[in-house]
């Protein structure tokens, strides 16, 4: 065992980092567990009939991670409600490519595609809006404390650009 305080601190930090990495790995479902995943989504609309699809998934193999995912989902919905959106049970998006007189966006939370490309664990998010002039934005690291702020900043930028380009 290391004798100096600095060496002990480095060993302790290395152990904490290893534990955090291992617990994050366990949060992602294995191939056998993917049939247990619960996917949830809602559509939101605003007064201009703009639509946002927000989806998430609960992997059901780590209750603490699912709890954090649930709170991220609710926090995202709350943030969109503060921007004038509300849940609309009748809303759908039949065609993401067809020009429409309203903006269509999606936010995919707890997304494994974003995690794979970002090389992070556990998962990430993807954001996109029609007619915004850019590809979807992938944000890795859902458990990062700044993730929701980054997600909403991306949404705002994409939505505002799309709003300027919407087909009237």
Residue pLDDT, tens place only, 32-82: 566 788 999 999 999 999 999 999 999 888 899 899 999 999 999 999 999
The crossing angle, in degrees rounded to 10, of helices 63-82 and 147-165 is 40
Total number of domains constituting the chain: 1
Phi, psi of 129 (to 5 degrees): -135, 140
- The reported pLDDT for the residue numbered 141 is 86
Structural domain harbouring 40: 5-165
pTM recorded for the entire structure: 0.77
Residue 118, pLDDT > 50, answer no
Interval 5-16: pLDDT, tens: 444 545 433 333
């Amino acid at each position: 065992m290391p004798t100096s305080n600095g060496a002990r601190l480095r060993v302790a930090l290395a152990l904490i980092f290893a534990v955090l990495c291992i617990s994050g790995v366990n949060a992602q479902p294995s191939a056998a567990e993917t049939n247990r995943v619960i996917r949830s989504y809602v559509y939101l609309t605003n007064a201009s009939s703009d639509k946002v699809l927000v989806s998430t998934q609960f992997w059901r193999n780590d209750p603490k991670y699912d709890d954090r995912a649930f709170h991220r989902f609710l926090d995202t919905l709350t943030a969109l409600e503060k921007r004038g959106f509300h849940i609309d049970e009748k809303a759908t998006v039949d065609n993401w490519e067809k020009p429409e007189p309203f903006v269509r966006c999606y936010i995919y939370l707890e997304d494994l595609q974003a995690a794979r490309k970002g090389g992070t664990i556990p998962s990430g998010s993807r954001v996109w809006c029609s007619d915004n002039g850019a590809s979807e934005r992938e944000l890795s690291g859902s458990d990062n404390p700044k993730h929701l702020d980054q997600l909403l900043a991306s949404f705002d930028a994409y939505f505002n650009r799309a709003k300027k380009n919407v087909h009237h």
